[in-house]
Amino acid sequence: MTFEHVTVLQKEAVDLLNVKEDGIYVDATLGGGGHTGVILSRLTTGTLYSFDQDETAISFNKEQYKDEIAAGKLVLIFNNFRTLKESLAERGVDHVDGVLYDLGVSSVQFDQGDRGFSYNHDAPLDMRMDQRQELTAKTIVNDWPFGDLVRVLTRYGEDRFGKAIARKIEQHREKAPIETTFDLVEVIKEAIPAPARRHGGHPAKRSFQALRVAVNDELGALEDSLGQALELLDVGGRISAISFQSQEDRLIKQMFKEKTAEPELPRGLPVMPDEMAPDYKLLTRKAIKPSEKEQEENHRSASAQLRGIERIRLS
Ligand SMILES: C[S@@+](CC[C@H](N)C(=O)[O-])C[C@H]1O[C@@H](n2cnc3c(N)ncnc32)[C@H](O)[C@@H]1O
C-alpha cells in the first residue's frame, strides 16, 4: 500500500516542537506519517501518540511503523483529535511535551476518487474523513435549509457567490436530489457568472472546501482540540500548528493571542505579579511560510502557515 502525500513544512513544524528525546508527544494529524516519522527519529525513550480519524491513514501507518508500534514508541489512535484529552487519559496520559497539527485532508483523501473531496473526480457527495460519521455532504446539499447553506458557503468558503450558489442548489434539489460531485459542479457553474468563472481557479473550489469544513466540523474540532492541548502542555511544552485556510489560521492566531496576552499592569504596581502573567509565550509573531523552493516543488504548500506557542508556567 502506498500513501502519496508530500509532507508540508516537515522539518520546520517538528523543529518548532523542540523535541526532547524522552518526552511525550502527540501528532494530531497522522496522515501519511511524514511528521510522525521525524518526531520518532528524535525520540529515544519518549512516546508519540498519533491521531487520525481516517481509517486509511491508520492502517497505512500500522504497517509503515510496525516496529515502533511493537516497541511501544508509537501509539496510533483512530479517533477525532477533538477527543485529545479523553483519548490520552484512557491511555494513562495527562500531560504532554508537544502537540503537532497539520490540518485539512491529505492528498490521498483528495485522490481517492470515491471519497467525494475532489471536484475533479465524479463520486457520491460524501467528504467524510471519518467513515463512521453519519453526516455527509449529500445531506448538507440536499437537506439543509437555504439559510444554513448560505452560511456554510459564504463563511467557510468565503465565496462572494455563496448566496447565488445556494439559490441554484435549492432550485435543482426541488426537482431531483444532487447526488454526485459532478452534479454539484454543474450547479455551481450555473450560479457563477461567466466572466467570474474565468478567474480565481476552479469555480467549485471554494464551495467544495466549505462543504468539507462543514461535514467534518473542522473549525469546531480544532477549537475544542487546541483548548485541550493548551491545558495538557507541561512547562516547556509546545504546540506547532500548520493551517491551509484563513479561518483556521485566524482561529489559531486568536487562541494563541488570548493565551499569551499580558494583562494591563495594575495601577501602583511597578512589575507584573507572577500570578497575573500569562502562562504561555508566542513562538511565532508572524506565521512561518514554506520556502519558495518548497512552494515550487509542492503547490499544495503555498497556502500553509505555521504557528507555535510554548507553556512557560503552570498557574
Ligand atoms: C494534511 S494531512 C496530515 C499529513 C501528515 N502530517 C503527513 O506528513 O503525512 C491531515 C490528516 O489529518 C486527519 N485529520 C484532519 N482532521 C482531523 C481530526 N479532527 N481528527 C483526527 N484526524 C484528523 C486527516 O484525516 C488527514 O489524514
- 53-92, pLDDT tens digit by residue? 999 999 999 999 999 999 999 999 999 999 999 999 999 9
Give the model's confidence band at 262: pLDDT under 50 very low, under 70 low, under 90 confident, else very high.
Answer: confident
Asked whether residue 110 is assigned to any structural domain, the reply reads no
Could you list the residue range(s) of the whole structural domain that residue 61 is in? 10-102+218-311
Of the three residues 216, 247, 277, the one that is the final residue of a domain is: 216
> What is the domain-level CATH number for residue 29?
3.40.50.150
Q: Are residues 266 and 207 in the same domain?
A: no
* 80 CB near ligand 1 (under 6 Å): yes
Q: Are residues 141 and 196 in the same domain?
A: yes
What separation in Å is there between the alpha carbon of 29 and the centre of ligand 1?
A: 3
Asked whether residue 2 is assigned to any structural domain, the reply reads no
* 149 CB near ligand 1 (under 6 Å): no
Q: Are residues 34 and 90 in the same domain?
A: yes
**pLDDT at residue number 4:** 79
What separation in Å is there between the alpha carbon of 30 and the centre of ligand 1?
A: 5
Of the three residues 201, 216, 231, the one that is the final residue of a domain is: 216
What separation in Å is there between the alpha carbon of 262 and the centre of ligand 1?
A: 33
Q: Are residues 222 and 205 in the same domain?
A: no
Residue to probe by mutation, ligand 1, list 106, 111, 252, most atoms within 8 Å of CB: 106
Residue closest via CA to ligand 1's atom 12 equals 29
**pLDDT at residue number 315:** 81
- 282-308, pLDDT tens digit by residue? 999 999 999 999 999 998 899 999 999
Q: Are residues 165 and 27 in the same domain?
A: no
**pLDDT at residue number 263:** 81
Please classify residue 122 by burial: count the beta carbons closer than 10 Å to its beta carbon, then call 0-12 exposed, 13-18 middle and 19+ buried.
middle
- 132-170, pLDDT tens digit by residue? 999 999 999 999 999 999 999 999 988 889 999 999 999
> What is the domain-level CATH number for residue 185?
1.10.150.170
Q: Residue range 116-135: average pLDDT?
A: 96
d(CA 47, CA 139): 40
Closest by alpha carbon to 109, among 155, 53, 179? 53
Closest by alpha carbon to 243, among 283, 170, 302, 166? 302
- 178-191, pLDDT tens digit by residue? 999 999 999 999 99
Asked whether residue 109 is assigned to any structural domain, the reply reads no
Give the model's confidence band at 12: pLDDT under 50 very low, under 70 low, under 90 confident, else very high.
Answer: very high
Of the three residues 216, 231, 264, the one that is the final residue of a domain is: 216
Q: Residue range 18-35: average pLDDT?
A: 98
- What does the buried/exposed string (b/e) look like for 81-107 if buried means 16 or more CB atoms within 10 Å of the residue's CB? bbbbbebbeeeebeebbbbbbbbbbbe
Is residue 1 predicted with pLDDT exceeding 70?
Answer: no
**pLDDT at residue number 110:** 85
**pLDDT at residue number 201:** 81
The total number of structural domains in the chain stands at 2
Asked whether residue 88 is assigned to any structural domain, the reply reads yes
Task: Kindly report the average pLDDT of the chain as a whole number.
Answer: 94
Is residue 107 predicted with pLDDT exceeding 90?
Answer: no
